[in-house]
Amino acid sequence: MPARTRSQKIGDKGQNQVREQVDAHPHWMCRFQDLDYGVDFEAEYAPAEGEGQRPAGKLLKLQVKATESADVRGQVVHVVLERSFLSYALQFRLPVILVHVDVTTRSAWWLWLQSWALEHEERLTSSPDNATITVHIPLHRTLETGLDHELIDVVSGKHASAVVLALRELADVAASDGQQIKLFRGVLALLDDIEAPNRLRTAEKIIELLVGLGSNPGLWQTSQLIPQIVATVERLGDMFSQDQVLRLVLRYDSYSRAGLEGLATFYDCWPEQARAMDLTSAFRDADVEEVAWYCSAREHYADLSGYQLVMRFSNGALPQIHFGKFQLRDDDDLSYRLLTKYPTRGSSILLDNLIWAETQAPEVSCS
């Protein structure tokens, strides 16, 4: 028979203490999770009613981390977490509460992990490869007082972070469904009003969805994301970095048609920022000369929108068609191809009609 380790004994003590404390509270019920992995307990808010309790259907997940001697420094408790568990906890729709227990003093403190991650996104992003991460719990945030007050707000959705997390989840759903563009725009506006970090996170979500389609997805797949891409760039483009623009557009050694629509919108809405990024050089360095041509054309004809650029090229009204290593085809059928294919291909129809230039184009002033 395998021996019971000291660590297991401490863990069992901590779990028993938390279960007893939660279950003894007049407004809470505690249940073991049957599986031997994942979170330890489920706590349900159950307000007192007469001599009993009425379950309210509002749940928390509790993960117990026990120790014989808590690492208390000043007014905070330091707790080391496995990064993998934090990532797991962030997948839950229900709040996941870390309960840190000192089995010697029988002290217990709590931390809402999703809310903590929301407040520390920049830190998490800057160290993605760290196997562990240290969280700090204020010494006054005891499990006893939390069960009386703040955890009731958390489970009821009244906590400030609950609003942001709910909107983010709604944005994630709307971002992946082209039929939900009105909802998506509305959620973007609400997130925009709350705080800036949520804007960047939404932009990253759109880029992740597009990248997740792979190197050569079907046009029908990417076209479903175009409304969300355009809405995101229109609303959040002022916070985009050059790296985000490149990841939005590039697919290995080529480009995404949907991503190019995002680039076209970026030039439409944020032309000065686009110019300051020197995107022509960035795409040329990435060896995607077609997109570098497009950036040069947009900056040379800076007073035209993406749509106007295509239309003016189609009627031969723009004399400069040679940028970098490519030039636009100049034949009798160009106008027909641009006009008939633009509704389904957008700005990428210009790139479909590029040919290698016989000589390198001189640098063109975009002033």
pLDDT tens, position by position, 274-295: 999 999 999 999 999 999 999 9
Which residue segment(s) compose the domain that 113 sits in?
6-156
Q: What local confidence, expressed as pLDDT, does residue 190 receive? A: 76
What are φ and ψ of residue 313, in 5° steps? -65, -35
Mean pLDDT per segment of 10 residues, for the chain of length 367 residues? Answer: 83 93 94 73 91 90 95 95 93 94 96 91 82 95 95 90 80 72 79 62 64 51 74 84 89 86 96 96 96 97 96 94 94 94 93 84 46
Residue 286 domain-assigned?
A: no
What is the Cα–Cα distance from 351 to 140, expressed in whole angstroms?
A: 61
Q: Which residue has the tokens 């291909």?
A: 345
With respect to residue 350, please indicate whether it lies within any of the assigned structural domains.
no
Q: What is the pLDDT of residue 49?
A: 87
Number of domains in the chain: 1
Q: What is the pLDDT of residues 180-207, one digit of tens each?
A: 778 878 877 777 666 555 556 666 666 6
| Crossing angle of the two packed helices 226-236 and 257-269, in degrees rounded to 10 | 30
Q: What is the pLDDT of residue 34?
A: 64
Q: Report which residue type is found at 81.
A: L
In a domain, 74, yes or no: yes
- Global pTM reads 0.67
30: nearest Cα among 99, 92, 93: 99
Residue 118's CATH number: 3.40.1350.10
E-only strand ranges, 145-284 = 250-251, 254-255
Name every residue whose Cβ is closer than 8 Å to that of residue 130 and which is 6 or more positions away in sequence.
83
Residue 189 lies inside a defined structural domain of this protein: no
pLDDT of residue 154: 93
Question: Is residue 179 situated within a structural domain?
Answer: no
- Cross-strand bridge partners of residue 48: 53
* pLDDT at site 214: 47
**Domain-located, residue 96:** yes
Task: Give the strand pairing for 322-323 and 254-255.
Answer: unpaired
- Give a yes or no: residue 128 inside a domain: yes
Exposure of 11 in the CB half-sphere (CA atoms within 13 A): 9
User: Does 71 fall in a domain?
Assistant: yes
